[in-house]
Structure 1
Amino acid sequence: MTDITRILLRNGHVIDTEPEPVAHPGTDVLIEDGRIAAVGPDLPAEGATVIDATDRIVLPGFVDTHRHVWQSALRSAAVDMDLMGYLGVMGQLGARLRPQDIHAATLVGALESLDSGITTLMDFSHALNTPEHADAAVDGLRAAGLRAVFGYGFPPGAPANYDDVRRIRAGRLDDDEALVTMALAPMGPSFTPPEVVAGDWGLAADLGLPVTFHVSAGPVAAQPVSVLRELGLLDVKALYVHGNSLDDDELKLIADSGGHASVTPSTEAMLSIGRPVTGRYRRAGVTTSLGADAVTSAPGDMFSVMRAALVASQVADDAAERLSVRDVLRMATLDGAAALGLADRIGSLRPGKQADVILLRLDDLNLLGAERDPIAAVVTAAHPQNVDTVLVAGQVVKSAGRLVNGDLPQAAQALRDTAAAVSGS
Structure 2
Amino acid sequence: MTRTLIRGGHVLTMDPTLGDLPTGDVLVEDGVIAAVAPSLEVSDAEVIDAAGHLVLPGLVDTHRHTWQSLVRGICGDWTLGDYYFGIRLGISPAFTADDVRLGNRLGALDALNAGVTTLLDFSHCNNTPEHSDGAVQGLLDTGIRAAFCYGFFESSPEATRFGDHSARLKDFHRIADTYFTSDGLLTLGVSLSELFGLPWDRTVAELAAARERRALIVNHTGCVWGSVLTGGVGELDALGLLGPDMVHVHCNTLDDAEWDALARSGGKVSISVETELNMGMGRPVFARCRRHGLAPTLSADVISLNSGDLWHEMRFGLGFTRWEATEAVNLANAMPETVTTSAKEALGWSTVNAADALGLGDRIGSLTPGKRADLQLVGGTGIEQHPRIDPYATLVFQTTTADVRTVLVDGRVVKRDGLLTGVDLPRLAVEADTAAQAVLGRVHAAGHTLPGTPAGAFEALEPIARGWHAEAVRAVEGRASS
Task: Answer whether TM exceeds 0.5 for this pair.
Answer: yes
Counterpart in the other structure of 1:150: 148
Inter-partner Cα distance in structure 2 for 1:5 and 1:274: 49
Deviation of 1:195 after TM superposition, in Å, equals 2.1
Deviation of 1:317 after TM superposition, in Å, equals 4.6
1:185-334 to structure 2, matched below 5 A, reads 185-189=191-195, 191-216=197-222, 219-220=227-228, 224-235=232-243, 237-317=245-325, 322-334=340-352
Counterpart in the other structure of 1:337: 355
Deviation of 1:241 after TM superposition, in Å, equals 0.5
Moved more, 360-369 or 384-393: 360-369
Q: Residues 88-142 of structure 1, C-alpha deviation per residue, up to 9 Å, x if partnerless?
A: 1102011100011111111000000000100001110101100000100111000
In structure 2, the CA distance between the partners of 1:133 and 1:154, relative to structure 1 (3 Å rule), is same
Deviation of 1:418 after TM superposition, in Å, equals 1.3
Deviation of 1:260 after TM superposition, in Å, equals 0.5
Match of 2:378, SS state, is strand
Moved more, 113-122 or 321-330: 321-330
Amino acid at match of 2:205: G
1:1-400 to structure 2, matched below 5 A, reads 5-19=2-16, 22-91=19-88, 92-156=90-154, 159-160=164-165, 161-175=168-182, 177-189=183-195, 191-216=197-222, 219-220=227-228, 224-235=232-243, 237-317=245-325, 322-370=340-388, 372-400=389-417
Q: Residues 58-88 of structure 1, C-alpha deviation per residue, up to 9 Å, x if partnerless?
A: 0000001110001111111001111001111
Amino acid at match of 1:360: V
Inter-partner Cα distance in structure 2 for 1:323 and 1:192: 39
Q: Residues 257-283 of structure 1, C-alpha deviation per residue, up to 9 Å, x if partnerless?
A: 111011110111111111121221132
Match of 2:68, SS state, is helix
In structure 2, the CA distance between the partners of 1:334 and 1:387, relative to structure 1 (3 Å rule), is same
Deviation of 1:178 after TM superposition, in Å, equals 1.0
Q: Residues 151-189 of structure 1, C-alpha deviation per residue, up to 9 Å, x if partnerless?
A: 1012345654111001000111233x3101110001243
Match of 2:361, SS state, is coil
When Rg is computed on C-alpha atoms for both structures, the one with the higher figure is: 2
TM-score by length of 2: 0.83
In structure 2, the CA distance between the partners of 1:75 and 1:292, relative to structure 1 (3 Å rule), is same
Q: How many residues align structurally? A: 420
Moved more, 61-70 or 274-283: 274-283
Q: Is residue 280–residue 321 contact of structure 1 (8 Å, CA) maintained in 2?
A: no
Unaligned runs of 5+ in 2: 157-163, 328-337, 443-482
Amino acid at match of 2:174: R
Q: Is residue 241–residue 261 contact of structure 1 (8 Å, CA) maintained in 2?
A: yes
Moved more, 319-328 or 251-260: 319-328
Deviation of 1:30 after TM superposition, in Å, equals 0.8
Give 4+ residue runs of structure 1 displaced > 6 Å after superposition.
318-321
Inter-partner Cα distance in structure 1 for 2:371 and 2:423: 26
CA RMSD of aligned residues (A): 2.0
Amino acid at match of 2:195: P
Match of 1:234, SS state, is coil
Amino acid at match of 2:201: E
Q: What is the percent sequence identity of the aligned residues?
A: 38
Q: Is residue 223–residue 281 contact of structure 2 (8 Å, CA) maintained in 1?
A: no
Unaligned runs of 5+ in 1: none
Moved more, 229-238 or 391-400: 229-238
Amino acid at match of 1:39: V
Inter-partner Cα distance in structure 1 for 2:82 and 2:17: 40
Inter-partner Cα distance in structure 2 for 1:79 and 1:61: 28
Deviation of 1:409 after TM superposition, in Å, equals 3.5
Q: Is residue 287–residue 335 contact of structure 1 (8 Å, CA) maintained in 2?
A: yes
Match of 2:395, SS state, is helix
Inter-partner Cα distance in structure 2 for 1:374 and 1:236: 33
Deviation of 1:298 after TM superposition, in Å, equals 1.9
Amino acid at match of 1:169: A
Q: Is residue 306–residue 379 contact of structure 1 (8 Å, CA) maintained in 2?
A: yes
Match of 2:119, SS state, is strand
Q: Residues 1-44 of structure 1, C-alpha deviation per residue, up to 9 Å, x if partnerless?
A: xxx81111111011111238953211111111111111111201
Inter-partner Cα distance in structure 2 for 1:311 and 1:221: 29
Q: Is residue 190–residue 215 contact of structure 1 (8 Å, CA) maintained in 2?
A: no
Amino acid at match of 1:99: A
